[in-house]
Amino acid sequence: METTLLIIKPDGVQRGLCGEIISRFETKGLQIVGMKMMTISEEMANKHYAAHKERPFFAGLVRFMTSSPVLVMAMRGVGAIEICRKMMGATFGSKAEPGTIRGDLGVSNSFNLIHGSDSPEAAETELGLFFNDGEVQSYELANLNWIYDASEEL
């Protein structure tokens, strides 16, 4: 099992898309193991997007991510990082395939609704930034055997 960080960004929260987005991941069979609504501080946004610090869009990205509450989630499943990334779609809504979150719900090249960790290392770092000890839960899904073929996948 792999755990990844997802953030429904300010545009997703403001547009009332949290339920729709969460539902897609749960319907897929992924497990929410942590969730909280928060307003990201400028300091936290700077840490989270530090890799983009030298890019011309950095200041705007920090301003956007701190402009309104976000919904932060820890999502768990076999191959969760890759599955979530595929479900999110291409970075820009105008270029994202239909059937993806960004492809179905977005058209903007600036506001792209959701963030997801892009590697196990990034997931570990990002989960540690947004969740304190004890905030990511471990529990067995009652329907786990109906999601995965336990003899092959777990």
Distance separating alpha carbons of residues 33 and 135, to the nearest angstrom: 8
- Active-site residue flag, 52: no
Distance separating alpha carbons of residues 97 and 140, to the nearest angstrom: 33
Which domains does the chain possess?
Answer: 2-38+68-131 (3.30.70.141)
Three-state SS at 127: helix
Calculate Rg over the CA atoms of the chain: 15
- What is the predicted pLDDT for the residue at 4? 98
- What is the predicted pLDDT for the residue at 27? 96
In this structure, what token pair is assigned to residue 70? 């976000």
- What is the predicted pLDDT for the residue at 153? 65
Catalytic residue among 115, 117, 130, 131: 115
- What is the predicted pLDDT for the residue at 64? 93
Three-state SS at 32: strand
- What is the predicted pLDDT for the residue at 99? 97
Query: Averaged in consecutive runs of 10 residues, what is the pLDDT profile of the chain (154 residues)?
Result: 97 98 97 98 93 89 95 97 97 94 92 95 97 95 85 64
